[in-house]
Amino acid sequence: MHLLLAAHADGAALQRLTPSGAPDPAAPEPRIVSAAELPGVVHQLEQQRPRWIWHRTQDWYPALLAAGVELERCHDLTLCGAILAHSEFTAHTEYARNAEKLTQDDDVQQPPRALQPPPPPADQGALFEDPGLSAVPRYSGEELRAEYAAQQEALAGVALDGDRRKQRLQLLLAAESAGAMIAAEMQHTGVPWREELHEQILADYLGPRPPQGHRPAKLEALNSELRRLLQSPALNPDSPQELMRALHRNGIEVKSTRQWELKESSHPAIEPLLAYKKLARLHSANGWAWLDAWVKNGRFQPEYVVGGVVSGRWASRGGGALQIPRQIRGAVHADPGHKLIVADASQLEPRVLVALAQDSKMAEAARDKDLYAGIAAQGFGGDRGKAKIALLGAIYGATTGESGRLMPQLARTYPRAVGFVEQAAREGEAGKTVTSRLGRSSPPPSERWLRSQQSATAEEQRRAESLARSRGRFTRNFVVQGSAADWAACWLAELRRRLRGLRADGSPAGELVFFLHDEVMVHCPADSVDACIRAIEESAAAAKELLFGRIPVEFPVSIAVVDSYDNAK
């Protein structure tokens, strides 16, 4: 059953649809439900396992979760529309042709979607307010139904050729929509966070909590030392301009205050300056103000942005959820009687490249858990470091330095793998798009980029060539990173399904609480650890088969069972 959920002046409108997006003849009229009644009605309808269709998962699901209603599956029109508007698989369809392209200053284009998401919250503290329906965009049910029908028509227009593009694209849309539900569930559940441990970590690094607007004691002590060593009694090291002037006055001729450049100087002020910068980052990014704003009742609850990066990777809105520094990971701590299971897909992007390129020789090297060691044994005299530099250089387009020097050896040993990313780079340089395994395509070049390639003077030609190479590096990495994001989306969706299936008494066997590119964290009762580990490993194997079929390439998952996140690696 397909159920459309749309905003209505009296609360919400529910309408049954056919798989193609037409009103269901058995119940053609929408049912109007008040906001107060909605959770109970949705809970009752969920017993029929419908696929919920809505503008954005974030519009509805957080409020339903807060009311105790958990859903199984959905179709997120905004996320799916963004994929269909750009995908090479649907480029010939009316849906893609009618999607207006908005050129951005950074040369990235996005589909407009008549259904635009609301702006980010103006106040990060608002994330902790009780969710409600007041902010749901007022698109009519008919507008949303027409959008769903158009998306289904676009899918129907994908040719059923030898590589099964339609099935792949359908899988991507389902996984992306599942990811939106997982993101809302993780925001609702939150990362287990011990505030007193965080306070202790800050005290150990920075000293006692200072009055608002003052530096912590250890930062102030380092500042005093810097003022003395740089002979600048009023120096504010938090001001880049002041700091650069003080460094230059003391003969430290640097062009920036980046760590690698500062380390080239032997001046005695460099060591305390680097220490100051490190502690200042901790204080500003994850200090007491961050703790007060983002951790409530023992949980860190950020908002995740599914598909926030053009390759399909997630982003986050506020709180730096995808950048929890090692210094404070000790505050991420399991509840009493529980454990954290931290699992990451080992060397995911290189293994995805092996599968995409169907490089049998590199697949042989990947049979052991350490792909780099396998490559080193085959072509680099056992030097793992060189093998890693060469392979990552191929994926990211590093053509100079050590990567460039090692590339010919890698190409001789693995011509299919290197040829695959080289072809993706050539496509980008020519202004074409590339596509992930499941059908997410890179943004097309902007009008500005296209104009740059119609150069006349020698200087313009050099700039055009530089821009073309830059786009080639982007497409070279996009096809690998995008396919890795496809794999991770399927891994997450499969893991969520399996964790839900493990429930015996109605309580979860484990909860997904964190996700970062190729790493997941599950919080579970201690007696459910073994079952959750099996679910994690089986989900990884299922994701590989969903994307690539039964191929001789392993996607191993490293697993740590810990009480606190800092002990996971």
Q: DSSP letters of 374-406?
A: HHHHHHSTT-HHHHHHHHHHHHHT--SHHHHHH
pLDDT of residue 426: 95
pLDDT tens-digit readout, 328-384: 999 999 999 999 999 999 899 999 999 999 999 999 988 877 899 999 999 898 999
Residue 353 contacts residue 410 (beta carbons within 8 Å): no
Q: Which two tokens stand for residue 161?
A: 């050729």
Residue 176 contacts residue 76 (beta carbons within 8 Å): yes
Q: How big, in percent rounded to 5, are the helix, strand and coil portions of the chain?
A: 50, 15, 35
Q: Which of 183, 212, 173, 452 is nearest to 314 (CA)?
A: 183
Residue 444 contacts residue 433 (beta carbons within 8 Å): yes
Residue 57 contacts residue 72 (beta carbons within 8 Å): no
pLDDT tens-digit readout, 9-25: 999 999 999 999 999 99
Contacts of 260 (CB under 8 A, 6+ apart): none
- Sheet architecture: strand order including 74-76: 31-33, 11-17, 2-8, 51-54, 74-76
Residue 103 has phi, psi (to 5 degrees) of -80, 125
What secondary structure letter does DSSP report for 82?
H
Regions in the chain scoring below 70 on pLDDT: 100-138, 160-163, 503-508
pLDDT of residue 447: 87
d(CA 439, CA 154): 13
Contacts of 457 (CB under 8 A, 6+ apart): none
d(CA 338, CA 504): 17
Q: Is 317 helix (H, G, I), strand (E, B) or coil?
A: strand
Helix (H) or strand (E) holding 306: none
Helices 384-396 and 371-379 pack at an angle, to 10 degrees, of: 100
Residue 494, amino acid: E
pLDDT of residue 161: 58
Instruction: Report the chain's terminal Cα–Cα distance, integer Å.
Output: 44
d(CA 203, CA 209): 7
Helices 371-379 and 401-413 pack at an angle, to 10 degrees, of: 70
Q: Are strands 299-300 and 295-296 parallel, antiparallel or unpaired?
A: antiparallel
Length of the chain counted residue by residue: 569
Residue 138 contacts residue 7 (beta carbons within 8 Å): yes
d(CA 429, CA 10): 53
d(CA 185, CA 147): 26
